[in-house]
Amino acid sequence: MNLIILFPDDFLDPQRVRLTGRRLAHVRDTHRAVLGDSLNVGLLAGLMGTGLITRLDEEALEMDVALDQPPPPKLPLTLVLALPRPKVLNRVLASAASLGVAHIHLINAWKVEKSYWKSPRMAEENLHHQRLLGLEQAKDTVLPELHIHRLFRPFVEDVLPTIVEGTQALVGHPGAPEPCPRHIHQPITLAVGPEGGWIEAELASLIRAGFCPVDLGPRILRTETAVAALVGRLF
């Protein structure tokens, strides 16, 4: 937790916060902070700054906060991600948030197991929490926007054209003839497939929607590794 994210309910007055629970435990047990220490803090969707510890005990952490720094800019990147298995979903959401992805669209695909959609990890609270973990890691306060589309074809036909407009659209596909380009200086829509990969019909739909299949080399990467590698290469 490189940044402690604050919520409006934490504020006792405009300059003072009181935290309990996970953030208190983390500051005590991991940071091993003491009274008078200064921590990096940021208001969710707002400014970042410092928090001076004025109380730290088993019950609560209190800080005087000064928030005057904007969060880092997001990457001009929309990630279209075939729903991965629940454990991996958690990791990808946190990792995408920490990388600065602006928008995430979780979509269905032929090789997405139906049970993944029913996982408790799809609960709104978890989807929020995982992205929050990414912000805490990377020192950012703005959650990537998350959209969920349970049907592939309506998404591709009705929603994707608007997303793709004005962006370079790339779909990760091992073995594609085009290597993934490097350091693109324009907005990107990036599609990453399910564990079993895209089927031909899905790839054809994405190509019709303007996507270019791109390859990262002979190694087939896990979804979370592929996302990080593609983003690292593109920006």
Contact set with ligand SAM (CB under 6 A): 172-174, 192-193, 195-198, 215-217, 219-223, 226
Nearer to ligand SAM, 135 or 214 (CB): 214
Distant-in-sequence contacts of 91-95, Cβ < 8 A, 24+ apart? 91/224, 92/223, 92/224, 92/227, 93/127, 93/130, 93/131, 93/134, 93/146, 94/130, 94/131, 94/133, 94/134, 94/137, 95/134, 95/224, 95/227, 95/228
Nearer to ligand SAM, 37 or 195 (CB): 195
The smaller minimum CB distance to ligand SAM, of residues 141 and 223, is found at 223
Closest separation in Å from C-beta 158 to ligand SAM: 22
Residue 189, H or E segment: strand 188-192
CB atoms within 10 A of CB 175: 10
Q: How far is the CB of 215 from ligand SAM (least distance, A)?
A: 5
Q: Which helix (H) or strand (E) holds 206?
A: helix 200-208
Q: Could you tell me the smallest distance in angstroms from the CB atom of residue 137 to ligand SAM?
A: 22
Residue with Cβ nearer ligand SAM (90 or 223):
223
CB of 154 to ligand SAM, least distance (A): 21
